Amino acid sequence: MARQSERTCIGCRVPRPKDAVVRVAAAAGRVVLDYREKLPGRGAYLCPEQGCIRKAFARDALSKAMRMKVQAPDEREFITFLADAIRQKIRSLLTMAAKAGKLAAGYSAVKDSFEKGRVEGVLYAVDLSDGTREKIVDAARGVSPPEAKLFTRSEMGAMIGRELVGVVAFEDRGLSDAVFREAKRLKNLIKQDE
């Protein structure tokens, strides 16, 4: 396997694989999140973790990395933006899976998908009705793909053009892996907040 190119986080100064860090870019003297890595101009990289963000913003590592005087964003605001960008990415992966016919949505469809051995990962809604997860785990008969609790039933429904959806299962390994990479990133980012 080819070694992934690395980028040094300007907070902890440790080189990381490119997909483990997030890009920020300088625009008109300000620093903005460039989660999709589409913005032109000078950029720098950060681990998506509060400790690294705090260090980078506090000691003006941004100006040094960008080789120009820039103003660090507000730390709280930046973390909120970053969390939103991660949620948005998960949303688009979910929509993509639905369009590709690789998403089982709703209790019966997910149960059926488990029975057919197709489930690669499960997302439960935060407001899932009591006992639903237990029934699905029962149907899975010992198979335990990665799972996370994100979004409300109405948010998940909106992503795939339905009303309330309490659970979805990904039937594609690549898409599921991408979703759980983002979900883990979100969890790491938010957990230090509590």
Which chain residues interact with Zn ion by CB under 5 A? 9, 11-12, 47, 52
- What is the smallest separation between the CB atom of 47 and Zn ion, expressed in angstroms? 3
Question: Do 149 and 125 meet the contact criterion of CB atoms below 8 Å apart?
Answer: yes
Smaller CB separation from Zn ion, 54 or 133: 54
For residues 134 and 27, give the distance between their C-alpha atoms in angstroms, rounded to a whole number: 49
Smaller CB separation from Zn ion, 52 or 156: 52
- What is the smallest separation between the CB atom of 14 and Zn ion, expressed in angstroms? 6
Smaller CB separation from Zn ion, 55 or 102: 55
Residue 78 burial (10 A CB sphere; 0-12, 13-18, 19+): buried
For residues 15 and 149, give the distance between their C-alpha atoms in angstroms, rounded to a whole number: 31
- What is the smallest separation between the CB atom of 43 and Zn ion, expressed in angstroms? 15
What is the token pair recorded at 40?
Answer: 């032109």
- What is the smallest separation between the CB atom of 53 and Zn ion, expressed in angstroms? 9
